């Protein structure tokens, strides 16, 4: 197979009917483009090939010249595949916590991978590549998938046309997630030209604390240059937990092994279908499955059962939190808004009962302490998105607990303008058994407050009863 054979296989992916998770006899139909059928295994083959082809045509990229870009994984894999087939080197800036499978594939293709701060996600990779290019001497081609107009152009020219053809023009609703936003923006523009009545809905993670690889929570992320927020007829959200659960259901009920963003797409499409069916409408919903599960099989969520999200009442713990200490937590959250607040819970612990006797506010390594500035590329954004307790603060907490004759029984933190429930980031960094009190701070005022405990296997945060 030569390079022309390879690139000719990009696109023309199957359109699958969802028949069990969503009933086949409903007046609302759900279809999805199986983008894992592309030679590189994802929807990103389309954008990567259009970017590379345009660069070749304009003399921006030639054999031996290095293509450089930031990626969360799939576009990088597409670049690496094309680089191997068309004889140009590829250097990619990738969050260090990208799945093992993605990193392994890039290595096999021969791409150079520069790991970036895992806490900064795709935004950190973008910052890292921009900084490197400012300092680098020599000729490279910066593909810039987040700002290159060839990204949405690929979907304008191919994805939208395929959806129109494969549904015989019957498509009424298009649903796609936002990462670079190229898939949604490009496909939407063309579908609206073909039929202005088609409703195009975008979706994104429900929180900046999420585990939907490659997707962006636009309110707190670096907004891609190619994104046009005016295109969406409606904006929806999806939680990481809902995406994980849908991936497991799709495997058992549809025989489809979906990637995490594909699980989110199906979950969002099903929610939309429920709304339309309730009001008696007929519809043909089309969504995008960006990739398959082969790049996420090492992730732990596959082992979770649906029951794992239901806490065992007999094992549930009780946190005694006085009105005074609750008020201190709320006041701290309001004071630091729109950034996160965090503090330690010091107290006395028994078998299934913990009593808070003192709260201790702690500093956020993301931006609050100049001597730890290396932890944060952008203090303003990081403080609003997550919390990192520096090592010396941990020591201060332990010393204060010993001074008072108390134990460290947990931590509290605020979620600015987001629900008072643990995020994927919380689950990755929390310690089992300790209490995690979360307070929602909306527009500067504290609202919901709840406590959670992480299971020993780190698979689930169980709600904890709070008593005053």
CA dist., res. 26 & res. 14, Å (int): 22
333: DSSP letter:
H
Among the listed residues 42, 261, 382, 423, the single catalytic one is 261
Lowest mean pLDDT among 8-12, 273-277, 378-382: 378-382
| Model confidence pTM above 0.75 | no
- Across residues 404-431, what is the average pLDDT? 84
Q: What CATH number was assigned to the domain covering residues 44-142? A: 3.40.50.1100
> What value, to the nearest 5°, has the Cα angle with vertex 90 and ends 85 and 95?
125
Kindly tell me if the per-residue pLDDT of 310 is higher than 50: no
Q: What CATH number was assigned to the domain covering residues 10-39+149-306? A: 3.40.50.1100
Among the listed residues 33, 44, 103, 216, the single catalytic one is 44
Lowest mean pLDDT among 278-282, 297-301, 314-318: 314-318
> What value, to the nearest 5°, has the Cα angle with vertex 217 and ends 300 and 254?
45
pLDDT in tens, 82-94: 999 999 999 999 9
pLDDT in tens, 160-193: 999 999 999 999 999 999 999 999 999 999 999 9
The highest-confidence range among 108-122, 278-292, 398-412, 421-435, by mean pLDDT, is: 278-292
Query: Taking the mean position of all CA atoms in its chain, how far away is CA 225?
Result: 19
User: Is there a contact between 261 and 43 (Cβ–Cβ < 8 Å)?
Assistant: no
Strand 445-454 and strand 461-467: the pairing is antiparallel
The yes-or-no answer on residue 446 being catalytic is: no
Of residues 312, 367, 304, 303, the one with CA closest to residue 336: 367
In angstroms, the Cα distances linking 235 to 175, 178, 218, 244, 268 are 10, 10, 11, 21, 11
The strand ranges marked E within 172-310 are 173-177, 199-205, 234-238, 283-289
- Residue 145: the pLDDT is 96
Of 1.20.140.10, 3.40.140.10, 3.30.2020.30, 1.10.10.10, the CATH number of 309-467 is 3.40.140.10
CA dist., res. 26 & res. 311, Å (int): 34
Same fold, 10-39+149-306 and 44-142: yes
CA dist., res. 55 & res. 331, Å (int): 54
3-class SS at 155? helix
Domain ranges of the chain: 10-39+149-306, 44-142, 309-467
User: Is there a contact between 268 and 287 (Cβ–Cβ < 8 Å)?
Assistant: yes
Residue showing tokens 């004071």: 335
Greatest CA separation for the chain: 73
The yes-or-no answer on residue 314 being catalytic is: no
């Amino acid at each position: 197979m030569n390079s022309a054979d390879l690139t000719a296989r990009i696109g023309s992916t199957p359109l699958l009917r969802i028949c069990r998770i969503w009933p086949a006899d409903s007046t609302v139909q759900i279809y999805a483009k199986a983008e894992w059928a592309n030679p590189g295994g994802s929807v990103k083959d389309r954008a990567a090939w259009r970017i590379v082809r345009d660069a070749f045509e304009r003399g921006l990229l030639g054999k031996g010249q290095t293509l450089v870009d930031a990626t969360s994984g799939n576009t990088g894999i597409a670049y690496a595949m094309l680089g191997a087939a068309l004889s140009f080197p590829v250097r990619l800036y990738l969050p260090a916590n990208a799945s093992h499978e993605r990193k392994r594939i890039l290595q096999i293709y021969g791409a150079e991978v520069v790991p970036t701060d895992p806490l900064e996600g795709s935004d950190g990779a973008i910052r890292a590549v921009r900084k490197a290019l400012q300092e680098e001497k020599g000729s490279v081609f910066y593909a810039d998938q987040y700002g290159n107009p060839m990204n949405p152009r690929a979907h304008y020219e191919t994805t939208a046309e395929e959806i129109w053809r494969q549904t015989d023009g019957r498509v009424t609703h298009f649903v796609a997630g936002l990462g670079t936003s190229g898939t949604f923006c490009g496909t939407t523009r063309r579908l609206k030209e073909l039929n202005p009545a088609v409703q195009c809905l975008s979706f994104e993670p429900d929180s900046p604390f999420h585990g939907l690889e490659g997707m962006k929570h636009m309110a707190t992320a670096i907004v891609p240059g190619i994104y046009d927020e005016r295109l969406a007829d409606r904006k929806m959200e999806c939680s990481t937990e809902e995406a994980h659960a849908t991936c497991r259901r799709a495997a058992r009920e549809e025989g489809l092994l979906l990637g995490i963003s594909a699980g989110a797409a199906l979950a969002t499409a099903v929610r939309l279908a429920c709304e339309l069916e309730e009001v008696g409408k007929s519809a043909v919903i089309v969504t995008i499955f960006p990739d398959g599960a082969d790049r996420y099989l090492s992730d732990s969520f596959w082992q979770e059962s649906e029951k794992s999200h239901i806490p065992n009442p007999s094992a549930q713990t009780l946190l005694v939190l006085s009105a005074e200490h609750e008020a201190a937590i709320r006041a701290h959250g309001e004071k630091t808004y729109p950034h996160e607040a965090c503090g330690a819970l010091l107290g006395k612990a028994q078998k299934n009962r913990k009593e808070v006797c003192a709260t201790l506010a702690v500093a956020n390594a993301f931006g609050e302490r100049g001597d730890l500035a290396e932890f944060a590329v952008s203090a303003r954004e990081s403080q609003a998105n997550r919390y990192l307790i520096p090592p010396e603060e941990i020591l201060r907490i332990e010393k204060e607990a010993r001074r008072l004759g108390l134990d460290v029984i947990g931590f509290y933190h605020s979620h600015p303008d987001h629900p008072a429930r643990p995020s994927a980031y919380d689950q990755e960094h929390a310690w089992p058994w300790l209490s995690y009190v979360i307070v929602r701070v909306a527009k500067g005022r504290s609202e919901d407050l709840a406590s959670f405990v992480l299971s020993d296997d780190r698979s689930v945060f169980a709600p904890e009863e709070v008593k005053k």
